[in-house]
Structure 1
Amino acid sequence: MMDKAIVVGVDGSQAAKAALAWAADDAVRTGLPLRIVHVREPWRRETEPTASNVRETMAEWHMLLLGESAEQARAFAPAAQVSTALATGAVVQRLKTEAETAATLVVGGKGHGRLPTFAIGSVTAELAGHTASPLVVVRTFTMEQRGEIVIGYDGSPDADAAMAFALEQARFRAARIRVLHGSRYPALAPHPVGYGPVPMGETNELAGRLALWREKSPHVEMVETIVPGSAVSALVEASRTADLVVVGSRGRGGFASAVLGSVSHSVVRRARCAVAVVSAARPDDPNRADDPHR
C-alpha cells in the first residue's frame, strides 16, 4: 500500500475544501502521499467559447485552483508529500480511474453548481459502491478528535471489507470501533414492530465473526450495539459523536441494501461526520481487504 496515495477531488467548493483538509490529515496519519485531482470536463461543441482569451482564462483558473489547493494542503499538513493532477474527461469516470490506484478516494459532499459537482445524488452516488478503493465523503471537517469510528456490520463481504478499513483507520487514529448491527430484514420490506429480537443463530454468527476480527486487531477496542430500530437512524445518531462512519456498499439487509441508494446512500446524505463507503474487491483482486475468515 505504500506506493499508493490518498486521492482527493477538488472543485473549489467549500465541501471540496473540507475534503482536502480531511485527506491531508489522513495522509499525515497514514504516512501516504496526497494526490490532489481536479477534473476538467471537455467543452461541448455547442458551449465551446469562440474567443481564445476565454479558453485561456478558464485554463488558468483550473491551474490556479490546483495550485491553491496544494498550498492549502501543505499549510495544513506540512509533513505530507503533495502532488497535483489536472485531468480532462467525465468527472465520474476520471475519479473511478484514480481510485484504481489509490489507497482512498476522498470527495466533498456537495460541489459548485455548473462546475464538476460532487453533490449527493449525482457524482457521489455514481461513485459510491463503484470504486476500487474506499470512498470517503466529507461535507465538513474539524480538528476535534472524538476517538470513535462507527461501522454498520452485518457479516456480508462488503461489511468485512468495511471492517478492515475501519480497523486500519482506528489504528492510525488510536480510536475505538463501535459496531452497530441488527436484524437482516431487507431495507425496503415491511418490518415487525421494533424489528423484534435478533434471531439467536444470527447473533451467534455475527459474534463469531466479530471475535475473529478482534483476534486480528487485539489492540483496537471494539464495542457492539444491537439496534432494534432503523439502521439509518442508528448510524446517523452515532455519527454525531464519531470521527468517521464506515458502511459497506451492499449487504444482507438491515445495514446495507441490494443497491446503493437505500441505507448507504441515506447515511452518506445525513451523517454528521465523514462517511466511508467500502466495497468488497473481486476474488482475483490482489488489493482486496483482508478477511479474517479465510
Structure 2
Amino acid sequence: MAITEQLKTLVEQMPNSAMQKKEDRIGKDEIKESIEKTVAAIAAGGRENVLGLIEMLAEPGSMEDCRPHFALHCVVNYPLVTRDEKMRSETCETLASQLGNGKLSAYNRSYLCQELQWAGRDEACTALGKAVLDEGTSDAAAMALVAIGGERAAAPLRAAAETAKGKVRLNVIDALAKLADSKSEAAFTAALSDPDEEVRLAAAAGLSKAGLPTAAKPLLTAAEAAKGWQRIQLTKSCLVLAEKLAAAGKKPEARQIYKQLKTTRTADNERHVREFAEIGLKAIA
C-alpha cells in the first residue's frame, strides 16, 4: 500500500531518541502531551495507518527505523490505554495479517509477534500458529501464544506440533508445556523419545504440569532409563506430577509415584529424591 503523506508527517513528529539529548527527553510534560496527541492521530487512521507503519519499518537499529518502530508500539498500546476493544482487535488483526509478509525481515516480523504478545487475543492466534513454524519468527510467536494463553492459543500449537521439527519443535512443545495443555498428552508422550534432549525435557515438563494420572507410567519409565542431568530433570517432573495429583485428590496415583521413586533411587547422590518421596508419602497418608 502507499504510505500517505499525512502518516509520514505524523511519524516525523515522533521523537527520535537517538538524536535527542537525554535532558530533552525526560521530565517535560509538553513532550509527553505531544507524543500522545500524535499517537492518537495515527491510531485514528485505523488499519491503513497501521499497515503504513509496518511498511515504514526499516533495517533494525537504523535511523530510518527508529520513529516508525516507536510509533507502531505506541499505536498498539493506545487502545489498551483508552480501553477501546474494537480498535485493539482491529489493530491486532492488522498486525497478524502481516506475519507472513515475506517483504518484512524476520526481525520485523518477530517484532509484530512481540506486539501481539502484548496486545493480541483470539484474533492473533491462527496467524501466530503459522508463524511459530517459521524459524525466523518461531521464538517470538511461541512466546506470544503462551502470553495469550488458553485453548485459543493451545489449539494452533497442537496443530503445529504435528509437523514441527528441530528448534521449532522445541518451541512448540515448550509452549504447550508452559500452557499445561492436557490435550497435548499424546504429543508430550511421543516427544519423550525425541532425539533432542531439550525436547524430551520440555515434553516431560508438559506431562507433569498437565497433572494427568496416565502420564505417570511414561514419565517414570523415561526417568528410569535416563542418566546424568536428564535423569535429574525427568525425576523432577515425576515429583511435580505427584504433587499435582495429590493436590487434585488423586492420592493413590500420587502414592504410586512416590513409592517407586523411593525404592528405585538408591544411589547416594539421589538421597534427596528418597527424602522428597518420603515427605510426599507422609503428606498424603
TM-score bin, normalised by smaller chain: under 0.3
Please, what TM-score do these two structures have when normalized by structure 2? 0.27
Please, what TM-score do these two structures have when normalized by structure 1? 0.26
Instruction: Choose between structure 1 and 2: higher helix proportion.
Output: 2
Instruction: Choose between structure 1 and 2: higher strand proportion.
Output: 1
Greater gyration radius: 2
Q: Looking at both structures, which has the greater relative contact order when contacts are Cα pairs under 8 Å and sequence separation is at least 6?
A: 1
